[in-house]
Chains A and B, each alone.
Chain A
Amino acid sequence: MEVRVENIRKEFERFPALHDVSLSIRSGELIALLGPSGSGKTTLLRLIAGLEAPTQGKIFFGDDDASYKSVQERNIGFVFQHYALFRHMTVLDNVAFGLKVRPSSRRPTKAEIRERASKLLDLVQLSGLEKRYPTQLSGGQRQRVALARAMAVEPNVLLLDEPFGALDAQVRKDLRKWLREIHDQTGHTTVFVTHDQEEALELADRIVVMSQGRIEQVGTPDEIYDTPVSPFVFRFIGQSNCLKVRVANGEIWLDDRPIGLPAKDEAEGEALLYFRPHDIEIRDGCGGCIAGVVAASRRVAGTRHLELEIGNGHALMEIELPPERAAAVDRSRLAFRPTKWKLFRE
């Protein structure tokens, strides 16, 4: 089901957590709310669920205004970071809970409840563990029970709050792939909160990047990574370099020299140049480039990261090269030029 958030504002004791946020979530998509802690991503998720009341604004499920509905009436599925399983109930009873508490007019028969719960446990690959209690399961298994429990009520939307946050790195990676598979099979509209950009990039159809209670950018992983619209997104997603430059005569200048980047349509004056460490080319002769001394060199997976001291009080520049290329450079003077970049005004 489509979910729309319109002009939502939320204050906690006069402290604003969300400023006028609007967002449209398409039916059946897997969308990530990504941001650092305090960015308001969990608050937005809890507002959609009805676990918090907004200070202002509306939330629509399809064409239905859900703004004033209680959490019980919204029929959502929520998965918590720390599982929040009912520890005195078996795995099967946990999954069946949402169906058992329905008013008798809408409650399936006992046999149907059992069957649906078993099917869901099948889906999350936990068949055979029906009679276990939550404390007898591993973290990854518990989170799968929690997901099955949330899906049992056939929710309008699945909301996941840092679902892999409490798990080990390896389990996280496995569950990530597995969640994508489940989503593709069931097609639930799914919103998940994460502070892990890798997780968001790998898993989501679209990513909502949030910072300080505002949405910075909404887009596909490619859009977010390749064309960040703000310095924040540039810095927060992936690696980036930021350089203080000046635009003059249709060119970008670093201190008193042009660096060979045209900027015909840019206004004149001070600006910040952002580029990614791998979006560069090494220049041999330097007719317009950024040049510096290699201050440090680190091997990171398949590439080598070089840190360049470019003088004049500028921050260290980080560039990425294939290891054999990095071995061949002149460490006392290395010149390069960004191939993809973006200017932001302060």
Chain B
Amino acid sequence: MAAQTRKSWQFRRPSVLPGFGLALGVTLFWLTLIVLIPLAGLAIRSSGLGAAKFWALAADPRTLNALRISFGTAFLAAILNVAFGIILAWVLVRYRFPGKRIIDAMVDLPFALPTAVAGIALTTLYAPNGWIGQFLTPLGIKVAFTPLGIVIALVFVGLPFVVRTVQPVMEEIDREVEEAAATLGATRFQTISRVLLPGLAPAVLTGFALAFARGVGEYGSVIFIAGNIPYVSEIAPLLIVIRLEEFNYPAATAIAAVMLILSFSLLFVINLIQSWSRRRYGYGA
């Protein structure tokens, strides 16, 4: 017994399948070479700046504004994506209507369409004289070259994240749960708001986090429509590029480090919430 307990720590459970060493070796080598060393380089460079200098660079007003705009617009866009994404997923899962299959396939367009193409197309549409912009201008709404334009671009890139995380969970909703709510006298609205949506919360949260993380880092689709006015519509990734073009590597590094720290802590918190929900309710996403 004692011998067995002592032996119970092992790096891997024995298996008759071959190739573990080779496969894991290739994986670790490639991961280290492509991902870990470059990211470590960034970490070393930013810690090499020293706390005081790092803080000075990160607290630069233009940097702070760019970060605020990036995180603010990404948050807003992710909220919009949650609202429309839930409706869209519901429509795709529950209703039958002509063209549904095409619509379903189209949802993945932002995954497949290069961001630069999306950027120039959205700019053309929402510019003051564009197909959509011309109707908004008389209303006093300016989209292109304002933070609102950034939000539109981020809604575009983030949409599939919400739809594709919520959709499979919706498909698995037990119809009997809805029927149970109805037999207890709940109106359709009460069933949806009190029973179905809370059950979807973990999936919605995941979709939100993915859309938000993508939105914070997005570059290609935003720079065309944003107008890129410092302090107003200049996003953090663009500021990194600007600092790089000025050969101001320390500043670029500091902004990047702050962005990564914020994004990772956010994802970490969301993971905590998910595992808490899984422990408590027995499900998560």
Contact = CB atoms under 8 A, between A and B. Distances in A.
Chains A and B share a contact (CB less than 8 Å):
yes
A78 B179 contact: yes
A153 B280 CA distance: 27
Contacts of A49: 183
Interface string B244-285: 000000000000000000000000000000000000111100
Contacts of A146: 180
A150 B283 CA distance: 24
A88 B183 CA distance: 19
A61 interface: no
Nearest to B174: A84
Contacts, number: 75
A82 B183 contact: no
B180 A135 contact: no
B186 interface: yes
Contact of B185 (A51, A84, A88, A102): A102
A24 interface: no
A133 B280 contact: yes
B184 A84 contact: no
B176 A84 contact: yes
B171 to A, nearest CB: 17
Interface size class of A (residues with CB under 8 A): 20 to 34
Given A101-B190, A101-B194, A153-B185, A80 B282 contact: no
A97 interface: yes
B177 interface: yes
Given A98-B185, A102-B185, A153-B185, A78 B180 contact: yes
A77 B186 contact: no
Contact of A97 (B186, B187, B281): B186
A75 B179 contact: no
Contacts of A133: 280-282
A88 B281 contact: yes
B282 A76 contact: no
Contacts of B42: none
Nearest to B190: A101
A153 B199 contact: no
B247 to A, nearest CB: 54
B35 to A, nearest CB: 37
B176 A72 contact: no
Contact of B282 (A82, A87, A102): A87
Given A51-B179, A78-B180, A97-B181, A88 B199 contact: yes
Contacts of B198: 88
Given A133-B281, A135-B282, A97 B184 contact: yes
Interface residues of B, number: 22
Nearest to B283: A87
Contacts of B132: none
Contacts of A85: 177, 180
Interface in B165-185: 174, 176-177, 179-185
* Residue in A80, A85, A150 whose Cβ sees the most chain B Cβ within 10 Å: A80
Interface string A131-159: 00111100000000010011011000000
A51 B283 contact: no
Given A133-B280, A133-B282, A135-B282, A84 B187 contact: no
Contacts of B176: 80, 82, 84
Contacts of B183: 49, 51, 71-72, 76-78, 150
B39 interface: no
A150 B184 CA distance: 7
A84 B186 contact: no
Contacts of B174: 82, 84
Contacts of B184: 77, 97-98, 101, 149-150, 152-153
Contacts of A51: 179, 182-183
B32 to A, nearest CB: 40
A51 to B, nearest CB: 6
A86 interface: yes
A101 B187 contact: yes
Interface in A148-175: 149-150, 152-153
B93 interface: no
A160 to B, nearest CB: 12
* Residue in B184, B190, B283 whose Cβ sees the most chain A Cβ within 10 Å: B184
B177 A71 contact: no
Given A97-B184, A102-B185, A84 B281 contact: no
* Residue in A76, A98, A136 whose Cβ sees the most chain B Cβ within 10 Å: A98
Nearest to A82: B176
Contact of A101 (B185, B199, B283): B185
A104 B219 CA distance: 51
B201 A88 contact: yes
Interface of A: 49, 51, 71-72, 75-78, 80, 82, 84-88, 97-98, 101-102, 133-136, 146, 149-150, 152-153
Given A82-B174, A98-B184, A149-B184, 17 more contacts: A72-B186, A76-B183, A77-B184, A84-B176, A85-B177, A87-B281, A87-B283, A88-B198, A88-B199, A88-B201, A88-B281, A97-B181, A97-B184, A97-B186, A97-B194, A101-B186, A150-B183
Closest 3 CB pairs of A and B: A135-B282, A98-B184, A84-B176
17 contacts: A51-B182, A71-B183, A72-B183, A72-B185, A72-B187, A78-B180, A80-B179, A82-B176, A86-B199, A88-B198, A97-B184, A98-B185, A101-B186, A102-B185, A135-B282, A146-B180, A149-B180
Interface of B: 174, 176-177, 179-187, 190, 194-195, 198-199, 201, 280-283
